[in-house]
Structure 1
Amino acid sequence: MGGKIRGHAAQGSARIQAAAQATGKPAQLSYPVFCLRHLQTGHDIEDLLADDQAALIKRFRTLSKMEWGQIEQAPRHGLGKENIAQTSIKRALPGVVTKDVKLWALRYANNKPMVGFRNGAVFHVLWIDHSFDVYNH
């Protein structure tokens, strides 16, 4: 079973890379893909109220229609991103975050942040900061 998942992921990555090459767009102009695998306890989708869950999904959809370059240029309290220093995080950093990882906040309902990092086209969400308690604001 594990081999199928790895093989499937590799095949999917190849298809995404081929699609990017076919459009002639560099990776930084690609659209975002959201990964929720590394969500931390207490800051997961299940910890949100129903209205915030809906707002989060709508924000994923809105951002998915944009290119990374547009997100990087948009206002940080709108559809853009905000750089967050690792030293500002009030929670233990998960093992997937190494010293060289640059953390970002993207906003959803009422400027509530989701904090994570970008790796290529994928934004890995680590915390959905529904209580504004993950980092020093």
Structure 2
Amino acid sequence: MTQDKWDSVIKVNLTGVYHVSQTFVKASVDNSNHPLSIINVSSIVGKMGNFGQTNYAATKAGVIGFTKSAAKELAKKNIRVNAVLPGFIKTPMTEAMPQNVLSSICEGIPMGRMGESEEIANSVLFLASDLSSYVTGATLEVTGGFSM
């Protein structure tokens, strides 16, 4: 892996989370008296690792650590910070994979299928809602039971 590839993934997946969170908190803390919520998107790969994805896995693990630390720091400001850890989700990228590879992946998922983007959106909606008002520093695995 080249240094440029490493740096590129770090900038998008980890530094991006830092900048968006920092901007949100600066803009919101002084202008809001109601509870706020930050939901970061990590990946099950950040928890479990995956062959050929060292840089990606490192950044997604970093998002988990960032989420847990930020949750502790921001709780006193009434800001909850959580992360969603998607598993294999149907996207244009995964749909471009060979059918035999997709079938093999689905065999390893207890629910027997890849997730839908709406299922990730619903988990984010839950974490953003008052239904999770006492949830902070958590990671929500949306994987169909998949674990590496």
TM superposition score normalised by structure 2? 0.35
Q: In proportion to residue count, which structure has more strand?
A: 1
Q: In proportion to residue count, which structure has more helix?
A: 2
Larger radius of gyration: 2
TM superposition score normalised by structure 1? 0.37
